[in-house]
């Protein structure tokens, strides 16, 4: 439940940084759009929109990466700045489990996090059950693994660009951004604000990621609530599909309210990881 408002807030924050529109005006509109096509189209709508939104999201990330590297003088310069700042630590072999970033915490922690997600996560299980056979389900896992690897590499590359761009002047301390979560939209404005349409592509990419995650979450959560928790108390005179639409809408509006909670919980990435840890413990 907490993951959905996190991704909504990310998109609204980026839109607010670019346009100046208040975050809390953006989030209800985003949720209403997502609730509409999720309740009306169900699983088929979620899968097709996810596919299209992934294309937009990855395209935006690639454009940001290319333009950012060009502005900073190429990847050699970006790498040198990050290395000088101590941002590149590939093989910190410290066995201390209380250290936040080591080779072992990354390898073991991420492995079990994705193992749990891919094996028993409701959104994954729904997709496994929607394909015709086990062989196809296994293929979808491999496709997901490849796509995830590419997305993570693009995210890391953009993170290196952010550090290299602002290594000499922290935008938060300089009051150009109110929190670290606003650095990427600020970077896009600095790098490509003069290019017609590019900022719109970036915002579309962020919203694509948010809508994709939200629609998947709403569809999965409503399915669990109706089939596992509410099946014995809901009226049998009304079809399951109708109840799914009602529960999806209710959950969506609850998530809008939870955006206010997420806003006051600190840096978004940390909130997301805390949420994952709580779920899998």
Query: Per-residue pLDDT tens for 187-207?
Result: 888 888 788 888 888 888 877
Whether 162 is covered by a domain: the verdict is no
- On the question of pLDDT at 236 being above 80, the answer is no
Whether 177 is covered by a domain: the verdict is yes
In a 3-state reduction of DSSP, which class is residue 269?
A: helix
d(C-alpha 211, C-alpha 218), whole Å: 10
Whether 15 is covered by a domain: the verdict is yes
Q: How far is CA 70 from CA 18, 77, 192, in A?
A: 22, 10, 11
Q: How many domains does the chain have?
A: 1
d(C-alpha 108, C-alpha 203), whole Å: 34
Among 49, 23, 21, 69, which Cα is nearest to 268's? 23
In a 3-state reduction of DSSP, which class is residue 235?
A: coil
Which element (helix H / strand E) includes 102?
none
**pLDDT, tens digit, for every residue of 60-106?**
889 889 988 998 889 999 999 998 888 887 778 888 877 777 888 88
Whether 265 is covered by a domain: the verdict is yes
Whether 29 is covered by a domain: the verdict is yes
Whether 213 is covered by a domain: the verdict is yes
d(C-alpha 168, C-alpha 170), whole Å: 7
Whether 11 is covered by a domain: the verdict is yes
**pLDDT, tens digit, for every residue of 45-70?**
778 888 887 888 888 889 889 988 99
Query: Once rounded to an integer, what is the mean pLDDT over residues 165-178?
Result: 84
Q: What six digits make up the tokens of 164?
A: 């290299």
d(C-alpha 138, C-alpha 36), whole Å: 31
Q: Give me the pLDDT at residue 115, please.
A: 85
Q: Supply the range of the domain harboring residue 182.
A: 3-61+170-280
d(C-alpha 74, C-alpha 90), whole Å: 21
Residue written as token pair 């005006």: 25
Whether 27 is covered by a domain: the verdict is yes
Residue 193 CB-half CA count within 13 A: 10
Residue 197 CB-half CA count within 13 A: 1
Contacts of 214 (CB under 8 A, 6+ apart): 4, 7, 8, 30, 31, 34, 252, 255
Q: Give me the pLDDT at residue 146, please.
A: 92
- pLDDT averaged over every residue in the chain: 80
d(C-alpha 163, C-alpha 180), whole Å: 11
pTM score = 0.74
- On the question of pLDDT at 239 being above 80, the answer is no
In a 3-state reduction of DSSP, which class is residue 193?
A: coil
Among 37, 36, 5, which Cα is nearest to 23's? 5
């Amino acid at each position: 439940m907490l993951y959905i408002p996190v991704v909504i807030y990310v998109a609204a924050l980026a839109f607010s940084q670019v346009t100046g529109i208040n975050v809390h005006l953006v989030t209800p509109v985003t949720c209403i759009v997502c609730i509409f096509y999720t309740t009306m189209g169900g699983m088929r709508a979620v899968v097709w929109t996810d596919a299209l939104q992934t294309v937009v999201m990855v395209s935006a990330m690639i454009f940001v990466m290319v333009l950012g590297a060009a502005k900073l003088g190429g990847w050699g310069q970006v790498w040198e700045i990050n290395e000088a700042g101590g941002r590149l630590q590939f093989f910190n072999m410290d066995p201390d489990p209380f250290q936040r970033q080591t080779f072992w915490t990354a390898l073991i922690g991420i492995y079990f996090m994705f193992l749990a997600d891919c094996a028993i996560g409701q959104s994954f299980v729904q997709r496994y059950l929607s394909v015709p056979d086990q062989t196809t389900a296994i293929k979808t896992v491999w496709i997901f693994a490849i796509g995830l690897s590419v997305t993570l590499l693009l995210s890391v590359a953009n993170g290196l660009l952010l550090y290299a761009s602002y290594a000499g002047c922290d935008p938060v301390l300089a009051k150009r951004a109110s929190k670290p979560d606003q650095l990427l939209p600020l970077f896009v404005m600095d790098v490509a604000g003069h290019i017609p349409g590019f900022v719109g592509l970036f915002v579309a990419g962020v919203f694509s990621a948010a809508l994709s995650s939200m629609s998947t979450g709403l569809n999965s959560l409503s399915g669990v609530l109706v089939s596992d928790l509410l099946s014995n108390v809901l009226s049998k005179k009304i079809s399951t599909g109708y109840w799914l639409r009602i529960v999806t809408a209710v959950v969506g509006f609850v998530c809008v309210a939870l955006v206010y909670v997420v806003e006051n919980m600190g840096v978004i990435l940390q909130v997301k990881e805390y949420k994952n840890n709580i779920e899998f413990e």
